[in-house]
Chains A and B, each alone.
Chain A
Amino acid sequence: MSGLVELDGLEVDLRVGGSMRPVLSGTTLQIGRGEAVGLVGESGSGKSMTARSIARLLPEGAEVRGSIRFDGTEVTSLRGADLRAYRRRIAMVFQDPRAHVNPVRSIGDFLTEELRTNEGVPRAEAERRAIELLDVVGIPDGARRLRQYPHELSGGLLQRVMIASALLSEPELLLADEPTTALDVTTQSDVMALLDELRRERGLAMLFITHDLELAGAVCDRTAVMYAGQIVEEQAADALYTDPLHPYTAALVAARPDIDATAARLAAIPGRPLSAFEAPPGCAFADRCPFSEDRCESERPALMPIAAGSSRCLRAEELRGRLHLTVSDV
């Protein structure tokens, strides 16, 4: 598979107060052309920071080591016009459309800004294309919508507008950072189905960030699981449930509420998630892991290929096949 995006040993430190704190410590990930990769994990595990690193949208003062290659070009060192040209080849769909669309500019302005500014498309032509795309994302009467302002649209409609705007520039990679989290449940599935369908039609590659393992499984080819700034497991999306390769994934699967069973108390992983800067010298998950041994505390595991995926667990081979059964009893 030809890699469109290749992250290799990506480390990111953010400036917090006076000191630097790692948020990503050695993230390695490939996304092929037209491939959808899910990125799941708890809050603070570094999912968004991974997407932001790819889009070069890290906060000021961030330090980046390692490499991000897009279509063979090193992204971390791009500047000025090259950086802007690169950004046009990717598009981002953000979590909260209300905050990510300028409230004082019209929908038409938001949709056509890039075409008019970067590609020199005349306004009338850009608007025609915007209306066409609004229709594709399920917003009829586009001409009227273009004259409206963000506060006149519901969250679901606005997220559709955001998706339309992402597709309008015909990107090669879509970075979707929890695109449905801010929407109400009934709208979520509509928006998700739309995003999935449009992506497949257009052969877009996508990095899909979510908390929701099942959702990731439904729309992605492969899923990567993040913990404390690292990818701990990566494999085909549907295999995560049946054949988890890392105890953390197994614990996540076990912690999903089951619609058929009545539980007195929802299952939870003991302990609290660590951020990358708190990670111990050994395995970051060791103190919450029911399978940890002495060497897990001292030896930092590497992301090793196993079966059809890869896992960052020292005991991955020996635990394979036993993980999901044992963990659900914990």
Chain B
Amino acid sequence: MLIGTLLVSSFVIYSALYLAPGNPIATLTGGRTPSPEAVRILEERYHLNDPFLVRYWDWLTGVLHGDFGVSIPLRQDVSTLIAERIGITLGLVVYAAIIILILGIGAGILAALRPGLIDSSVIVASTISAALPSFIAAIVLLLVFSVQLGWFPAFGPGEAGLDRIYHLTLPAIALALASLAIVSRVTRACVREELRREHVQTATSRGIPRHLVIRRHVLRNAAIPITTVAGLTIASLIALSAVVERAFALNGLGAYLIQAALSKDFAVVQGIALVLVVAFVVTNTVIDILYALLDPRVKLGERAS
């Protein structure tokens, strides 16, 4: 299942770029018309004239050995280029995911259990943050917290370690905001719904203290749909990170993907796209496993009844 998904997506990625307009040699020669001799040498070096399936096969076997090919404009190994940048993207996504899980689920639970002022504030806050696309959120955060207040750096990933966390704070918030709203809203709805369930009433009727009823029956059961939504939202951050990385001048995978696509650096685009797909598929697999752990009615490898 997992391998099938990856194989199909790798093929789609490769063929999409094969069909895309543009020619790496043109980029390489910088718009000048190269001699036919030079073109022939270049085409031979990069196997540009091999049949499509042969090139796909070469690429795929290379990838399986950790070789993503060579960036034609930069003349560097794609795997090295990716390795240099993957840390920043990973850090950014994990940081944003932690913010979403803690604040989003926390605010959702609080809003569900405390109707009134807290509930209304969470709803207003999540409506605003859901309405903000991440590139606008990034600009607003930059203006307020970097330019006006000067609390956070405006760009760059900083040095590894604590400085990196400090530099990634604003980007992570910008990336998390919209998803934060979704996750807190869904959490609130799920907890509310679970509170009304009959089995919660059974627990209450037995004189179980309210905080235990909430923990064992309400939150435990609401965790199942919340996991699904939180997982999917976090997986989608991987793609969204490109926008935020560009806004904060972070040298991550997403920003590099855009740059590579603009310069027709196909090998890099293919490599990064494949890495993103793998990350997405792995995240989803983790959700599926969690799901089976949380819900005894779901067995791995079986259809849910």
Contacts and interface: CB of A to CB of B under 8 A. Distances in A.
B197 to A, nearest CB: 7
A272 B172 CA distance: 62
Interface in B254-305: 294-297, 305
Interface of B: 197-199, 201-209, 212, 216-217, 220-221, 224, 294-297, 305
Contacts of A19: none
B199 A99 contact: yes
B212 A104 contact: no
Contacts of A103: 199, 221, 296-297
A92 B207 contact: no
A117 B203 CA distance: 11
A286 interface: no
A151 B296 CA distance: 9
B296 A99 contact: no
A55 B202 CA distance: 11
11 contacts: A84-B208, A85-B207, A94-B202, A100-B198, A100-B199, A104-B220, A104-B297, A113-B206, A114-B208, A149-B296, A149-B297
Given A100-B198, A101-B202, A117 B212 contact: yes
Contact of B208 (A91, A117, A149): A117
B224 A88 contact: no
A104 B296 contact: yes
Contact of A84 (B207, B297, B305): B207
Contacts, number: 74
Contacts of A96: 198
Interface in A80-100: 83-88, 90-92, 94, 96, 99-100
A189 interface: no
A307 interface: no
B220 A92 contact: no
A102 B206 contact: no
Given A92-B205, A102-B199, A113-B206, A151 B305 contact: yes
A57 B204 contact: yes
Contact of B221 (A88, A102, A118): A102
Contacts of B216: 102, 105, 113
A67 interface: no
B202 A92 contact: yes
Contact of B205 (A57, A85, A104, A149): A57
A169 interface: yes
Contacts of B203: 102, 113
Contacts of B295: 104
Nearest to B305: A151
Given A104-B294, A149-B297, A88 B199 contact: no
B43 to A, nearest CB: 60
B199 A101 contact: yes
Contacts of B217: 102, 105
Contacts of A151: 296-297, 305
Given A88-B206, A117-B212, 9 more contacts: A84-B207, A87-B204, A87-B207, A90-B205, A99-B198, A100-B199, A103-B297, A113-B203, A117-B208
A105 B295 CA distance: 9
Nearest to B204: A57
Nearest to B212: A117
Contact of A104 (B201, B202, B204, B224): B224
Contact of B209 (A92, A117, A149): A117
Contacts of B212: 117
B297 A113 contact: no
Nearest to B202: A100
A49 to B, nearest CB: 14
A149 B295 CA distance: 10
Contacts of A88: 206-207
Among A57, A83, A86, A102, which residue has the most Cβ atoms of chain B within 10 A? A102
Contacts of A104: 220-221, 224, 294-297
Contacts of A114: 206-208
A68 to B, nearest CB: 15
A106 B295 CA distance: 11
A258 B180 CA distance: 63
A100 B201 contact: yes
Which has the most chain B C-beta neighbours within 10 Å: A94, A104, A114? A104
Contacts of B296: 103-104, 106, 149, 151
A239 B57 CA distance: 88
A87 B296 CA distance: 29
Nearest to A55: B205
A102 B215 CA distance: 13
A101 B203 CA distance: 9
B105 to A, nearest CB: 18
Contacts of A118: 206-208
B294 A169 contact: no
A84 B206 CA distance: 8
A57 B207 CA distance: 11
A306 to B, nearest CB: 35
A84 B199 contact: no
A252 B264 CA distance: 84
A306 B119 CA distance: 55
Contacts of B221: 102-104
A182 to B, nearest CB: 12
Interface in A141-197: 149, 151, 169
A92 B207 CA distance: 11
Nearest to B200: A102
Interface string A59-95: 0000000000000000000000001111110111010
The 3 closest A-B pairs by CB, nearest first: A87-B207, A84-B207, A99-B198
Interface in A107-124: 113-114, 117-118
